[in-house]
Amino acid sequence: MIDTSDLRRFKRPSLGLAPDARWLFYAMLTWEFGYGCYNAIQTLFIKSLGATDLQIGLLIGIQGIIRVAITLPSGILADKFSRRTIMIWSTAAGVPACIVAGLAQTWLQLLPGLILLLVSGVGTPAITAYIAQMSTKENRARNFTFIYTFGPAIGLIVAPALGGFLADRIAMRAVFFASATLYLAATYFFTRVSERPLPQSDHSAPSYREAIGEPVVRRVAMLMFVVLAACTMGVTFLPNYLSEVHGLNVGTIGRLFSVAAIGTVLISQATTKLRWITPVRGIAIGTLAVAIACVTTVATGNLWILAFAFLGRGGFMVAWTMIYVVLGDVTPDRLRARAFAFSDFLGGIGVGLTPFAAGAVYGWNHDAPLLILGGLAPLIAVVAFTLERTHIRPAHAARLRELEMLVPRVQPV
């Protein structure tokens, strides 16, 4: 007889993660797969519906404003209600959102679907706080890297190429229907995550005032704003630039964004395997990598060179993830949900308002948004290194001392 116990062991590879972390890994992989299918062609789809460059920036910017508006309330929800329930329902909202977007006939009709997609953002503080809560000092960076970087990157390796293929062979709107199916699958994976009680404290309920009162939280959140705003300036119109300046078709653009996801995996591996690359240095490396990709795109239309340069585009996700790792290391447990939400709030302002400027700048000069990032990235790296020395290392050391004081000491007999 065949021993089925061995077969069962191979059905769900553990990935070296605990069960809840593994289900979150699958959920984020699938969610980003759905997102990646349409993200690379989103601005092209908006343009195909009759929007100008300025209107594209307006539509993306409105998404950002809504994202900012829901961020702080999302942090409060993550402190008061089941984080598992928030993750499930916020992800499920992506299903009707993609269907509405796929049915749009004008760029204004696209707006309700894109806004509804932002409801998924309600779950971000809950996911981040859940990961931080279930993690220890030893596995926090690993959990964040697998769930927020490796999982999404694996999905994004295939998704843009698939989205480009569907757009070329069927229609751009078909991509959104594929994404709806993937969001439904991601919702299922979130339902497999176990319920965890909200952290209890002897102190009063955490507040944003208390979280923002931590100097290191304010500075890391400001770093998040600067990093995301600068990178968004560079990448928002990358698909349009590749199409309008270099004449690439949608399928080729999708494959380049798949290469970018491979870059995310490679850069992530470097940041986790090389001990000298701290999370802050990972932020700097990721930002510089995106800048190199943008500047190279301006410099040449050679597809082989672009393919190599687009590995650096994957640094955006790495830099974003490493900011959460830094916050998790320096923030007290009871303040993490609010600290993550506050940083998401500032980051959302950067991601949300920058497209308005990017649309206007791109309409004036197609090269300008990409070159602006090229100029800002080295300055951001210097700021990150300085912040690590002056605030992050001392705060991390203080946090470790607090944790040591909480561990009961065994007295010798």
Question: Does residue 225 sit within a domain?
Answer: yes
Question: Does residue 12 sit within a domain?
Answer: no
- pLDDT tens digits, residue range 244-301? 899 888 778 888 888 888 888 888 878 777 778 888 888 999 999 999 999 999 999 8
Which domain range does residue 295 map to? 17-194+205-406
Whether 183 contacts 92, CB under 8 Å: yes
Q: What is the pLDDT at residue 66?
A: 75
Question: What is the Cα–Cα distance from 163 to 248, expressed in whole angstroms?
Answer: 15
pTM exceeds 0.75, yes or no: no
Question: Does residue 1 sit within a domain?
Answer: no
Q: What is the pLDDT at residue 402?
A: 62
DSSP 47: H
Question: What is the Cα–Cα distance from 222 to 336, expressed in whole angstroms?
Answer: 16
Tokens coding 412? 């010798």
Question: Does residue 6 sit within a domain?
Answer: no
Question: Does residue 323 sit within a domain?
Answer: yes
Residue 6 gets the label, from left (phi > 0), alpha (psi -120 to 50) or beta, of: alpha
Q: What's 166's domain CATH number?
A: 1.20.1250.20
Question: Does residue 216 sit within a domain?
Answer: yes
Q: What is the pLDDT at residue 127?
A: 82
Question: Does residue 7 sit within a domain?
Answer: no
Number of domains in the chain: 1
Question: What is the Cα–Cα distance from 65 to 115, expressed in whole angstroms?
Answer: 10
Question: Does residue 393 sit within a domain?
Answer: yes
Among candidate residues 78, 63, 118, 77, the one with its CA nearest the CA of residue 96: 118
- pLDDT tens digits, residue range 304-362? 999 999 999 988 888 888 888 888 777 777 777 778 778 878 887 888 778 888 888 98
- pLDDT tens digits, residue range 117-136? 877 777 777 887 788 777 76
